Structure formats: structure tokens, C-alpha cells
Structure 1
Amino acid sequence: MYENYLPLLGGLAGRTPVELNGMPHGMRAVTVPVRRKGETRVPRDRKGRTQPTRVDVLAAEPTLLFSPPDSVSKQDLIWVLSRETRRWSTVTGRFGQRTDVVVDQLIRAGGIVLRCEVDQDRIKLGQPEGWRLSHAWREQAPDELAELRPRRDPDEVRAELLSLLDEARDHPAPMTKRRARARERLMIERAVLVRVPPGTGLVVPEGTATTAKSWPTYEAALRAACKWLSFRHVPGAAELAGRAWGDTHVTWSAARMLVFSQLVGQRFELAVDGADVEIRLCGPLLWQHGNAIADAARARPWIGLPRDGMWLVGRVECSADGILVIENAETFKKVSANDKITRSWLCVWGKGKAVVNAAELINRLPGRKVAAWMDLDASGLEIFTMLDKAVEEPVRPVAMTLELLTAGQPRRRAGREEQAKAERYDRELAAKLEPLLSGELAEIARHIKDTGRAVEQQVLHERVLPILPALLDSI
């Protein structure tokens, strides 16, 4: 999975690449938007020429989602991740003579975006003003910090969580049907935690009803779910974060939102007031609000729109014949670059399992063909069933065949234990999903149940992308 710069609509407006003298290889500069007559624009002089006074410097090529430089120490990484923005004086105060080297490495790793003045006389970078975390690092900072900071006694942490679960169970807040169901789910997690043997490390417990893969995500979501149950009203995202984690500014990552939703049995935006999620789009869709226009047909590589917000303000026009939902970000980017597809198909990406957030968009654009391309593993089948259940139109699988599963390069984890655990998980999940599927998808589920085999989208690009337009035309 890759991080693309400026993933939100508000970040794309007013941005354009700038050629500056002395720009280090592997980096690029883009304009900082200015506001004129109520619009966000590229800074230009009176003759219409681009004339920025400040630029943002970032990696020129897509980078790994989270891969810190080896030379950055654990303590330095904690410091980097603990604030979304830093002033340049603060950065130099931290790193001293190492500043230039550290900043260079963090930019190339896709971790930060550096804001600099522009020396207009020499058309080159001027004095840095500060940095901000990239979208990918900002999204993952809470869970990465939880892993990096000093370890706590696992038994004490689990005891604290059990105490929170007991408080949630006994809290006198009115019990609506939804809250009663949420309490039942939390009591299932309590039973799971109680069975964890003393001395076990901080790992997601066996038997959890969630799909959490990391302990920090699981713990954060469980704390939030316990506090959520005590509210007499629907809390705001920041309000709940403050009660659960002690900081209203902590970002709700996609993983935390998903696991929290599984614990309380409601979609995040229904359980938490004011929450919205981004959907990435490419294809024949236009969103307009006043003078602001987002054209998903012209955007490169795509635009991001708030799933609920796009309907609350402005107007959405869509001329697509069909809607193609894609599981992985890298695959979405590849498909979005194919004009043969995006001329008539609206391509949608919504972060793995959170792709079901696209259901509302699809249901508001009725009468169009709906197709989905997911990983050929148990989780991919699960996402397909979740999407199919949420969408009113029938969802057709694309490039999800038994032949591709058996012929494609299988996924391999780093170690034998991790590989065995992944295969066991896929077998068990596929067995649960098989009765819910039909046709070739049911055959795929049976094969995964028997073999534990998993083939991800990315390794199938060479085989599928050339024929994808024809596959979509056949629907």
C-alpha cells in the first residue's frame, strides 16, 4: 500500500508542481494554496504566471505506507510522531547538527512534508518554516506511538480493561436496544480477556469477535467502546477520544474506527456524532459547491470527498455507467490511470474493510452496474459479502476467479509461525463465509478453507489490468 501526497480535496485545490533550482533528487516542490475571492487557488502574479512565496517539499515518488529510516532512533521517532506539525526552530532545537540529514531522510521516507520559503531572486528553496506529518504517518501515529513507548505490565493492562468492562456493564445509563446489544458484545470480549493466561504478552486475545490485528488498536477501541456505553447521548469523536484516551486531539484511525464499530455493533458514523470518512474517487463524477468544483474525471490521480459531507452541501452529478469498488490503494491507483475504464466507470476506494463506506454513495447513485475487485483471500471474500449486503444493487465480482487464486503467487508471511497463523485465520474465516456465497465465490471459499491459500491484488496486476476493461464491459 502506498501514500500519495495531498489525499484530500482541500489539499489538492491550489496545488501545482514548481521547478526550483537546487532541488534534491527524489524530492519535489508544490505550491501552497492562497485564498482569493473566496476560492483556493495557485499563487500567480498579474500576468498569470505561477509565483509562489512558499512551497511544500515532499517525496517525488510513492513511498511505503510506514517505513521510518533506520538511522532515526526510537526516541526521535516518538518525538516526530507525537505532534502533527513542528516549527523549524523546534526541529533544529531537537536535532542540532543532524537536522538536515534527519529531515532529508524523513521526507524521502514519506513521513513529513516540509514547508519552505522561496528565494525568488535565485528561484530556489529558501529558509524552512516547519514540517507536518504526511497523511499516512498522521493516520498511523497513535498506534505506532503505543508500540514505541515504554512497555506496561500486560497483566495489569488486562486487569484495567476488565475493570472498565465491569464499569460499562454496571453503568446506570438508559439501556436502549442498541446499547443492550453493544453491552452483550463487550461482555463477550470480557470473557475472552478473562481466559488469557497470566504472563501472556500484549497481543489480541484468541477468540475476539473483532478483526483487530494489533494490540494498540484493540485496546484503544475497547476503551472507547466501554466509555461510549456510559454516555446518555451520542458523543462526538473528540469527546469520546478525550474520555477514552485522555486526549481530544488523538486521531481516529481507520483501524480504530472499524474495531470500535465491531465492538458496539454500529457503524462508526452512527455511534459517534460528527464523524465522516473519506472516499477516493476517479471517473465521471462531479461535485460542486458554489465556486468549488471537484471533478473526479479530471483529477490525477484521484480526488477524496467526505462520504457524508458531499451530500450535505453542494451537488453531485454522475454520468458513470457503472461503479467499480476496489480493496487496495495501489490497485485503485493503477485502475484510475486507465482512461478506458474511468471514461464510463466510477472507481471507488475506501481503505480495505472500510470500503463498505462506499455503500451510501452507491445507493445514492441508483440504476448503475456495481462491480467489486477484492483480494483473493478470506478477508477479501468477507469484504465482498459486507459490501453486497449493504448495497441495494447486485454486486458482481471482477477478477475474483478460482483460476487466478490457484495460479497467482501466494502470499507469504515473514516467518513460519506468522504464515501458519495467517493460513489458519483464512481457513476458519473461509469456512464461515462459504454458506453465504454462491457460484465461483463459494468455490474460492472452499479452496481457501482447504488450503489456506491467499493471493493479493497487487501480484495479479500484470494479468488482470490489461483485460479489466473487457471484464467490465462484459457485465
Structure 2
Amino acid sequence: MSEPEAGAPRFPLLIGETHGREPVPLPGLPAGVIAVTVPRVTRTVDDLPDVRVPRDRKGRVNTREVDLVAAAPVNGYAPPPGLSTRDLIKVLTTGDHKRWATIEGDFGDRAWDVAVALIQCGAVTLRCRVERAVHFAPRLWRLTEIWEDVHEDKLDELRGRPDALALHAELLEAMAQVPQLANERELLAATPPGRTLQVPASSTSGTGDWRVYEIAVRAACFWWPAHDSPQPITAKALAGNALRNTKSAWTASRRQAFANLIGRPFDRAVEETDTELRIRGPLQWRVGSVVADAAACRPWLGLPARGLRVLGMIDCDADGIVLVENEDAFQQVCKIPEIVDHWLCIWGAGYATDGLVEFLRTMTPLPVAAWQDLDAHGIRIIHNLTERIERHVTPVGMDVELYRAGPKYKQEPSKLEKNRELASELAMEGPLALRELAAEIAANGGEGCEHETLYAQVLPTLSAQLNEVLVQQPDR
């Protein structure tokens, strides 16, 4: 496989506030601010969120309401210069939203100027009514998801912490009981507090935010002694024991700092209800103050599906993206250096989440390949994904001969019939590259073959198949 070319594309903002929106031309907008449509969220037939641009019955974009957002990508939490601590606390205590009348009460004659500065730095979106496609009037503001993710930690920091020396000593004492944190403890001991507490420069946590660091350390001090217990550690139990509050949010920053500190993905360390995307390959990203490396994380980088919405800056040198349907197969692919050195490998637990779809849209023009089960639903996943990201997805390890030779898994008669019907439909309307396979599945009464049973046939040739995907790209 070829080495990444010099000047490989960079993706400066993964997902911002423009998801599911279109620009709306409005006169008189300040520099650095654009107006976009308010997204309409519905559910797909697979019960997945579908974010779309609102339109009227004639298909025209509905512009009776808009959001004012930052015109340029923003790199995480960066308050506007000149905003006082008192004002910043007012911003961060927004809650779900603040009405414009409340904002005017908080900031008086400065309300509009403060709002513009906050929009420009990616802190808030401002919902406005639009009249005659010309005049707009503010209604309310919301924190952007980037700021919402870190607002609790920043509020703690702004409101002041307990005695710095006492807190520093408390963390050192807690880590002294955990051998696995000995190196981290040495780093902290060598970083005495001044007027404020400082995260050690070489901290394994990867964060520069003290509150995020403190939470990660406390959680790790609880997790290490308890992780071998037969009783599972849930995300809420970890929060309750380490933070004394089961309702404390495991934000993307906190999750990743904790995962970095213990050296394993969050969803392997604790049990939780959220679905994680698992990523391995040449990609680095920054969420809040935390940096993570999908090439260095072992065995992968885990991220909650919703977490993709709050990522800041991303750097990717991958030649392409390969999606793997099942967890065990994903782990096998992650063991192949010639793949993970050049491809971004992703597991998303079956049908694509909204976050994964937007991730793939953002990573255009990287080619997308997929290795799914050889059954009706595996084909449907690729069909669904192709439509939602609006570009081609190349199947690998999914040809008819593999299906014919592979063992078929057991299914109830009623499910077999439904899968036969779905395969028949996909043989006519599914992805062209998979219609022959869909027809074969239909001819076999809906029987399917799980790709975990095909390792011996597929894994030795998977790198070559992905190379062929690159060769077929029109710009190569």
C-alpha cells in the first residue's frame, strides 16, 4: 500500500453546528457569523435519527427561523478576550437555553456585542425569527455542543477550587495506594501548585484542564483496585464512587482523560448504555483539552456515538476508511499492521448512527469500504449507509463464492422469510456490487453467513482488497 502523500488532507473541524443545515443569506450579519437553517430531526425506518434541512411543501428551504453560528471552524473552548469571569459564568450557566430577554437582563446594552463575540468563538448559537427574508430578531441562545461538553469543568475552575495545597496532597495520597499510577504520581509530585493547580506537563491523561485531570485521577484510583472484581463497574457506579455523584456526566473530555490514564478504552473499562464507535488508524483528535491518538490507543480509541458531535480538531493521514460490522471481526482487522497503518478502521455496532454518518460525510473524499455479514441485513447496512452519506461504499470480503462456501447461521422460520423478502428487494434495488449476493441469499431462502466464520478466507487477502479499492478511485 502506498505511503500517504505529502500534504495529505487535514480535517480541521469534525462536526460543528452546521450539521443538517444550509446557509441562509441575511443582510447585516456581523463578520464571522453566518445564518443557517434550524434542523428538523426525524426517525428513519431503522429508528435512527435523521437530521434534515426544513422545507415547505414545494421543497423550498424554510427560513422563518434561523440559527446564527460561527462562520469558521473553532478549536474547542476558547472564550472571547475581554469577557470577565463573572460574565463567563453567566454564559456557562445557560442550561438548556436562555431567552433573549434574559440575556439582555444579564448584559444590558452589551447583549448584542457579547452574543456576537460568543458566536464567533463557537460558544453559542443564537436562534432568531426571520421576517420577509430580511429582518431577524433574536429569540434565545444555546451553548454549542463543544461548550456544553466542558461547561461543568470550566464552571468549577472559574468559581474557585478548595485549598490548592490540600487538594494536591489529597490526590497524591490517593495515588499512593494504586501501584499502576506510580509514574503519574511522580509527575504530579514534581508539579507543586502555585496560585492555581497545574496538570503535569507529561501526564498520561493527555489533558491540560485541572478539573478534567482531577476527575480522571479519582476515577482511576477507584477503578484499578476494583476492576478485577466479579461485580461489573458501571459508568454510574464509577461516578458515584469516584466523584460522589452518580449523575455526574461522563463528558467526552473526562472519558478520554480517564481512558488515557488507565490505558484502555472507556467502554472496555466500564459498562454503560451508550454505544461507542471504535476507531483504530492514523488519526489524532482533540476534544476540549484532551488529546487522543487512534493509532497509539490499544486496542482502539473508543468514543460514544454522540461524542462525535463535540470533537474539536482532527488530524487524519488515512488513505481510506473501512467499516466492520461485528466487534470480533473488528478486533481481528485491528491486528493487521498493513491495514491500520493506512486505513481508519471503525466499528459502530451495526446500522450507522447519526454521528458516524456525519463523520463519514466530513471525511470526504476518503474512500469508504465495508466488511459486513453476508446476509440481507449486511447488504442493507451498506445500502442504508450509501444513501445517507451520499457516496459510494465498496464492499470487501462479501462475494457470492464466499457466501456459498460459508456456514449458514440458524434462524427462526419467520425471520428467514423476512430476510428472504428483504434479500429479494435488495437484489433489485440494493447496491450494484451486492445485487448478485442478495439474489443468492434470496434463492437460499434468506439464509445468512456471519463474517466471523470467514476469517481464514478473508483476513489474509483483506489488505490486498483494500488496496484494490484505492486503485479504483478516479483520482489515483
Instruction: Please tell me whether Structure 1 or Structure 2 has the larger radius of gyration of its CA atoms.
Output: 2
Rate the CA distance shift 1:127–1:250 in 2: closer, same or farther, 3 A: farther
Residue of structure 2 in register with 1:115 after alignment: 127
Q: CA deviation at 1:195?
A: 6.8
Q: Is 1:19 aligned to 2:14, yes or no?
A: no
Q: Deviations over 1:282-331 (max 9, x none)?
A: 9677999599897679835669xxxxxx999982574299xxxxxxxxxx
Please state how far the C-alpha of 1:246 moved relative to its aligned partner.
Answer: 4.9
3-state secondary structure, aligned to 1:107:
helix
Q: 2:361 aligns with which of 282, 299, 312?
A: 299
**How far off is 1:45 after superposition?**
1.4
> For 1:113 and 1:63, how far apart are their aligned partners in 2?
13
Task: Find the aligned partners of 1:129 and 1:302 in 2 and give their Cα distance.
Answer: 35
Paired residue for 1:141, among 122, 146, 151? Answer: 151
Q: Measured at CA, do residues 76 and 230 of structure 1 come closer, stay the same or move farther in structure 2, by a change above 3 Å? A: farther
Task: Tell whether the 8 Å contact from 2:127 to 2:138 is kept in structure 1 after alignment.
Answer: yes
- Give 1:131's match in structure 2, choosing from 129, 141, 144: 141
Matched residues in 1 for 2:172 and 2:359: separation?
51
CA 1:116–1:238 in 2, change beyond 3 Å: closer, same or farther? farther
Distance 1:201 1:297 in 2: 37
SS in 1 for 2:86: helix
Q: Deviations over 1:190-212 (max 9, x none)?
A: 56656776979622358865544
SS of residue in 2 equivalent to 1:319: strand
Q: Is 1:256 the equivalent of 2:254?
A: yes
Number of paired residues? 308
In the TM superposition, residue 2 of structure 1 has moved relative to its aligned partner by 8.9
Matches of 1:67 and 1:189, distance apart in 2: 28
Paired residues for 1:37-48 under 5 Å: 38=44, 39-48=50-59
Counterpart of 2:394?
319
Post-superposition CA distance 1:159-218 (Å, at most 9, x none): 33245447xx4xxxxxxxxxxxxx431355456656776979622358865544443332
User: Who is 1:438 aligned against?
Assistant: none
1:31 to 16, 37, 44: 37
Cα distance in 2 for partners of 1:156, 1:301 equals 46
Residue type matched to 2:162 in 1? Answer: R
CA shift, 1:221, in A, is: 0.7
Distance 1:243 1:62, change over 3 A: same
Match in the other structure for 1:273: 271
The CA distance in 2 between the partners of 1:99 and 1:227, in whole Å, is: 45
Q: Which amino acid in 1 is paired with 2:66?
A: V
Look up the match of 1:75.
Answer: 86
TM-score, normalised on structure 2? 0.51
How many angstroms does 1:24 deviate by? 3.2
In the alignment, is residue 63 of structure 1 matched against residue 74 of structure 2? yes
1:203 aligns with 2:191: no
Aligned-pair identity in percent equals: 33
Please point out which of 100, 103, 106 is paired with 2:112: 100
Structure 1 unaligned residues grouped into runs of 5+? 170-182, 304-309, 322-362, 371-392, 395-468
For the 8 Å contact 2:33–2:116, the answer to whether it is kept is no
Q: Is the 8 A contact 2:19 2:358 kept in 1?
A: no
2:211 paired residue number: 216
* Structure-2 change in CA distance of 1:245 and 1:92 (3 Å): farther
Quote how far apart the aligned CAs of 1:3 are.
Answer: 7.0
Contact 2:191 2:199 in 1 (8 A): no
Stretch of structure 1 that moved more, 47-56 or 190-199: 190-199
Q: Which runs of 5+ in 2 are unaligned?
A: 1-9, 45-49, 277-302, 309-313, 324-347, 366-371, 386-392, 397-454, 468-472
Check conservation: 2:64, 2:133, Cα contact below 8 A: no
**Which region of structure 1 is more displaced relative to structure 2, 206-215 or 145-154?**
206-215
More displaced stretch, 310-319 vs 239-248: 310-319
- Greater relative contact order (Cα 8 A, min sep 6): structure 1 or 2? 2
